[in-house]
A = this chain, B = another copy of it.
Amino acid sequence: MTAIATINDVFQLVKAELEEAEAAYSQYLQTNVSLIPKISEHIILSGGKRLRPVLLILTMRMLGGQPGAGTTMAAVIEFIHTATLLHDDVVDDADMRRGLAAANTIWGNEASVLVGDFLFSTSFDLAVDQGNLKILKALSSATRKLAEGEILELMKTADINTTRQDYLDIIEGKTAILMAIAAEIGALLAGVEDERQQQMKAFGLHLGMAFQMIDDVLDYTSREESLGKAIGIDLEEGKLTLPLIHTLDKASPEEREKLREIILADYVSQEDFAYVYRLINKHEGIDFTLREARRHIDAAKQIIAAYPDSPYREALNFLADYIRQRDR
């Protein structure tokens, strides 16, 4: 049995398949319109973690799927992920409600919208060529939920009455659903029956929920260098995530009123951020969120514990712990 001791071992296990997928990314972006590969490759080749392709391939292999059978769908999932990143950038840049004038040139937004559309359509086009209606249904209903989640997040911007359920709906749509179908499509490619397909979907969904919760914790706790963005960007953009929602629930009326003012303000000062961060610590918003993330990781691990031991199962197990341990 291969021992999986580091995240590198996980990637090593499916190295050949990931390399095949990397080659496929460029191949599928061939077009006469030169701006398309330029922008797509800039973002696709700029060091994404390839978490979704890895999840798809590991799941497929654990369930007996053949090497190489997941290459196209791995590219499809990564393209959809990339398309949402391109559109998210437009959405976040164009946030006029927060008084942050779009820093990007108009050219940047236009190209991001359209190249995102191209990646979405290309994903469906590649998936259609697989000729599997079950895979297509998984994909189309997932992207629909993805858009719903993003729109719900937009609607709840700077809304201090955002509930935990709103938050769960938002992160399920914007993050977890795509990891859910990565694992589900892995199962479909391996040709397993409905029950195991649903289990894999649930496995991916739990990983995705935990992944986003950890991300939302890191937004408060991490530094610019390690996360690649400024501290507290969610607060600045009026995104209420679980650490803050939990804190709003526990806060005194005075604290809540102060939080309300900061959330509604166009500009969040370093002082304001420090105040919010102190309150979150006081009411244990970070710990609460980490506990919730751990519950999802445990649920995910429990699902695959019922499967026969294999390097792929071991790698998926490691991946689950790896996601949880991002909480530093």
A residues whose Cβ falls under 8 Å from a Cβ of B: 31-36, 87, 90-91, 93-97, 102, 106, 108-111, 113-115, 117-118, 120-122, 124-125, 127-129, 131, 133, 136-137, 139-141, 143-144, 146-148, 150-152, 154-155
A147 to B115, CA, bound (A): 7
Which B residues are in CB contact (< 8 Å) with A117? 87, 120, 143, 146-147, 150
Taking chain A's interface residues, is the majority helix, strand, or loop, or is none over half, making it mixed? helix
A151 to B141, CA, bound (A): 27
Q: Which of B102, B106, B124, B152 contacts A124 (CB 8 A)?
A: B124
Which B residues are in CB contact (< 8 Å) with A108? 94-97
Identity of the chain B residue whose Cβ is nearest the Cβ of A80 in the assembled complex = B121
A-B contact pairs, 20 of them (CB 8 A): A35-B151, A87-B114, A90-B109, A91-B110, A91-B113, A91-B114, A93-B106, A94-B109, A96-B108, A102-B109, A111-B154, A114-B147, A120-B121, A121-B144, A124-B124, A124-B143, A127-B140, A128-B136, A128-B137, A133-B133
* Most chain B CB atoms below 10 A, which of A33, A117, A152: A117
Q: A33-B148, A108-B96 are in contact. Are A141 and B125 (CB under 8 A)?
A: yes
A146 to B106, CA, bound (A): 21
How close is A110's CB to chain B, nearest CB, in angstroms? 4
Contact across chains for B97 and A121 when beta carbons are under 8 A apart: no
How close is A236's CB to chain B, nearest CB, in angstroms? 14
Contact across chains for A128 and B140 when beta carbons are under 8 A apart: yes
Which B residues are in CB contact (< 8 Å) with A133? 128, 131, 133
